[in-house]
Amino acid sequence: MLNKLSDFLSTIIAPASAGARPEHTLQLATAVLLIEVMRSDAESTDEEQAVILGILKDRFQLADAEVAQLTELGHQTAKAANDLHQFTSLINRELELSEKVRIIEYMWQVAYADRQISAHENHLMRRMADLLHISHGDYVAAKTRAKPADME
């Protein structure tokens, strides 16, 4: 099972051919990063899961069934992955800075969904910003935009 998943990931995370944007692999990479935020603290909540589903549906304009499939594959992939570099390197290769900052903002939305930020979430978010080559200013701006008004 793990070998099949690993082989699958190796094929989809490979560099895009002929300059085409690998939309499905970008969707999976984004889903994995969002799921990792949810998994980074002690407890995954229904609120976090709902935020992830909403982000994926809106961001990629997917039907409910497609979002469910993407989320399930994202959970499986996140559990099987040794590190997040394969996903961040794909995102770095394929997306503009503004799109990467938006992903950081989405990740903060997931982190804020349970109304508290754990030390593990903070650490993961800082590491993701570094891996995605996001400046500190853009990182702070994304965090500020994602923070719910009633948490000010």
Write down the domain spans for the chain.
24-151
Q: What is the DSSP letter of 149?
A: G
pLDDT cut 90: percent of the chain above it: 72
The per-residue pLDDT of the chain, averaged, comes to: 86
Q: How far apart are CA 42 and CA 92, in angstroms?
A: 29
Confidence category of residue 152, pLDDT binned at 50, 70, 90: low
pTM of this prediction? Answer: 0.84
**Cβ pair 56, 30 in contact under 8 A:** yes
Instruction: Find the range with the poorest average confidence among 22-36, 91-105, 124-138.
Output: 22-36
What is the CATH topology of the domain spanning 24-151?
TerB-like (1.10.3680)
Residues 86-109, mean pLDDT to the nearest whole number = 96
Measuring CA to CA, which residue among 137, 136, 134 is closest to residue 88? Answer: 134
Residues 50-70, mean pLDDT to the nearest whole number = 94
